[in-house]
Amino acid sequence: MAGANAVANEELRLVESAQRGDIESFNALVRLYEGRVYNLCYRLLGDADSAADAAQDAFLSAYRHLRAFRGGSFRSWVLRIATNVCYDALRARQRRPVVSLDAAVETTSEESAPLQLADTAESPDEFALRRELARAIEAGLAQLPVDQRLVVVLCDLQGLTYEEIAEVTGANVGTIKSRLSRGRARLRDVLRQGELLPLRFRHEGEE
């Protein structure tokens, strides 16, 4: 608890310093959250190049609008900005479709998000399965309506609470529960179709 408070205080100090124009303080915040922001963009947009552009735009926008930040969770605030940037990019893509999300996933999933053997204990079979699962999930996410995709990514990939997701998306908790359950159900169907549900590889009650 004390550690969490110390982190929050440090974050607040950085935000205030950045608001006074200290770019290094802002960059310290960028380093804290760039992994999260990039991953959110990557999962929403489906390809590495668009995600990098969106993440950069999000941090630039955050810096420009830093004075509008009125306390609360900086993480939620910056993720919200990134979400808006991604929605804009998706809308622009719809108006002028250069490459479809499915195609983007197909072409980039292997080279942009290379999977490595997690540890030496992982067998080639396990590695192959993990890789197949990752590919199926990416394809499944790409098929979800963006509102559901966003909630699934924030909850299950980023580990945010429902309240934090509400801050990021502006939706109420009831809506979030609904989108989350439907998004998860669709992904379950994708895994089921690919006979990838780990249920069959696990015993009941195993984590």
User: Interface with another protein by CB under 8 A: which residues?
Assistant: 21, 23-24, 26-27, 30-31, 34-35, 37-39, 42, 48, 52, 55-56, 59-60, 63-64, 67, 112-113, 115, 118, 130, 133-134, 137, 152, 155-157, 159, 162, 177-178, 180-182, 184-185, 187-189, 191-192, 195-199, 202, 204, 207
Minimum distance from CB of 184 to another protein (Å)?
6
Q: Which is nearer to another protein, 90 or 152 (CB)?
A: 152
Q: Is 46 left (phi over 0), alpha (psi -120 to 50) or beta?
A: left
Number of Cβ within 10 Å of residue 109's Cβ equals 21
Minimum distance from CB of 42 to another protein (Å)?
5
Q: Is 21 left (phi over 0), alpha (psi -120 to 50) or beta?
A: left
Q: Which is nearer to another protein, 17 or 39 (CB)?
A: 39
Minimum distance from CB of 43 to another protein (Å)?
8
Q: Which is nearer to another protein, 76 or 135 (CB)?
A: 135
| No. of helices (H) and no. of strands (E), the chain | 9, 0
Minimum distance from CB of 120 to another protein (Å)?
16
Q: What gap in Å lies between CA 154 and CA 148, rounded to an integer?
A: 10
Say which residues have a Cβ less than 8 Å from residue 147's Cβ, sequence separation at least 6: 169, 171, 179
Answer for the pair 167, 76: CB distance below 8 angstroms, yes or no.
yes
Q: Which is nearer to another protein, 22 or 97 (CB)?
A: 22
Q: Which is nearer to another protein, 99 or 115 (CB)?
A: 115
Minimum distance from CB of 27 to another protein (Å)?
4
Q: Which is nearer to another protein, 168 or 187 (CB)?
A: 187
Minimum distance from CB of 32 to another protein (Å)?
11
Q: Is 113 left (phi over 0), alpha (psi -120 to 50) or beta?
A: beta
Q: 2: burial class by Cβ within 10 Å (0-12, 13-18, 19+)?
A: exposed
